[in-house]
Amino acid sequence: PGPTLAVVGATGAVGTVMLQILSQHADIWGEIRLVASPRSAGRKLAVRGEETEVVALSEEVFDGVDIAMFDVPDEVAAHWAPIAAARGVVVVDNSAAFRMDPDVPLVVPEVNAHTARVRPRGIIANPNCTTLSMIVALGALHAEFGLRELVVSSYQAVSGAGQAGVRTLRQQLSLVAGTELGTSPGDVRRAVGDRTGPFPEPVALNVVPWAGTLREDGWSSEEMKVRDESRKILGLPRLPVAVTCVRVPVVTAHSLTVHARFEDEVTVDRAREILATAPGVVLCDDPAAGEFPTPADVVGTDPTWVGRVRRALDDPTALELFVCGDNLRKGAALNTAQIAELVAAEMS
């Protein structure tokens, strides 16, 4: 039999997609153990077509496990990932707890798979979904052109904030649907009241220029993650990166506008060739035919979709792109599963 896998956080928004992916990918696993908080223990979930009972997180749950995929809050991962690693488990962690630890590789298989082999703490980190929604395309362009600077704005779906984010948008949409709201200052806010869930402002009929928590000098934690993680994944520790993160009323699939400046002059033709052939990327770029990626079409798919490829009007070394990716698939569960599969291949 193949290696034993534990899915820790199996009942959450990302955990649910992880189970779908495990049922869709080649079945390389022996036992798959589903683990969650004591509150969810005893539930039965389908994986690989079998009903599997969820067990409560404990030290013993890791006995005999080879690889564990964690999708739990940062503080839970910070506590439990080292416990699992100490029991010989290779942990692939989707929280922010270890991403910037120099002894923990931050892995995107299409970009830096080789870094997954060196993991002194027995932990491999999975990047944040916003970074992941663009980095496969950027990694491909960087390999050819040499990235020198990034300026990015995100358009982030509410499922990035978990099931509570999705519930909040749906409830707010039901409050504003069929009304004339959105025509005078504050009318949406009054209709939504305190039902803003994990967001600081109403997200229905709105955009909210905020994701995460407040960091120094007005930056958000989400913006710092995109900067720090992009630098680490691309191996460019001093890359200038400017990010603004924005929440939009989309259920799933993050989008980003990207201004990327490279070492030398670039051509759109060569950029399009690179993007059209890069593993994990789909070029969808025919504005004359009304073709560009949008979250509504990209949701539920695996690749990073790229459109609107243009050379900057005032800088022949820079490209403008619109990038879209499913934040629960490549942005979280899929990348985690791909890393787990890399590690499993080492064991076979």
Any binding-site annotation on 12? yes
Any binding-site annotation on 39? yes
Distance of CA 253 to the CA centre of its chain: 9
Rounded to 10 degrees, the C-alpha dihedral 134/137/138/139 comes to 120
CB 254 to ligand 2RA: min, Å: 7
Beta-bridge mates of residue 258? 152, 321
Rounded to whole angstroms, how far apart are CA atoms 66 and 4? 5
Please report, for residues 87, 99, 119, 235, 300, the alpha-carbon distance to residue 305 in angstroms, rounded to integers and kept in the order given.
39, 25, 30, 23, 12
The catalytic residue among 114, 142, 245, 254 is 254
Among 156, 172, 220, 336, binds ligand 2RA (CB under 6 A): 156
Rounded to whole angstroms, how far apart are CA atoms 207 and 68? 36
Told to judge if 254 belongs to the known catalytic residues of this protein, a careful annotator would answer yes
Rounded to whole angstroms, how far apart are CA atoms 96 and 93? 8
253 scored as a contact of ligand 2RA (CB under 6 A): no
- Measured from the CB atom, is 33 or 247 closer to ligand 2RA? 247
Q: Which positions from 255 through 284 interact with ligand 2RA, judged by CB under 6 A?
A: none
160 scored as a contact of ligand 2RA (CB under 6 A): yes
Burial category of 248 from C-beta neighbours within 10 Å (exposed 0-12, middle 13-18, buried 19 and up): middle
Among 128, 230, 252, 336, binds ligand 2RA (CB under 6 A): 128
Please report, for residues 65, 82, 120, 278, the alpha-carbon distance to residue 115 in angstroms, rounded to integers and kept in the order given.
22, 19, 11, 19
The catalytic residue among 129, 245, 284, 324 is 129
Q: Residue 166 contacts by C-beta under 8 Å, 6 or more apart in sequence?
A: 13, 158, 159, 251, 252
Among 52, 130, 168, 172, binds ligand 2RA (CB under 6 A): 130
Among 5, 211, 275, 328, binds ligand 2RA (CB under 6 A): 211
- Measured from the CB atom, is 116 or 245 closer to ligand 2RA? 245
x-or-dash pattern for ligand 2RA, window 57-96, by CB under 6 A? Answer: ----------------------------------------
Site size with ligand 2RA, rule: CB under 6 A: 8
Rounded to whole angstroms, how far apart are CA atoms 146 and 227? 17
Q: Which positions from 167 through 206 interact with ligand 2RA, judged by CB under 6 A?
A: none
Q: Which pair of tokens denotes residue 102? A: 């120099």
CB 183 to ligand 2RA: min, Å: 29
Is the Cβ–Cβ distance between 306 and 283 less than 8 Å?
yes
161 scored as a contact of ligand 2RA (CB under 6 A): yes
By beta carbon distance, the residue nearest ligand 2RA is 160
Is the Cβ–Cβ distance between 271 and 141 less than 8 Å?
yes
**Binding segment toward ligand 2RA, per CB under 6 A, in 58-66, 124-132, 182-190, 305-313:** 124-132
Catalytic residue numbers read 129, 254
Residues that bind ligand 2RA (CB under 6 A): 128-130, 156, 160-161, 211, 222
Binding site, by residue number, is 11-14, 39-40, 99, 156, 159-160, 247, 327
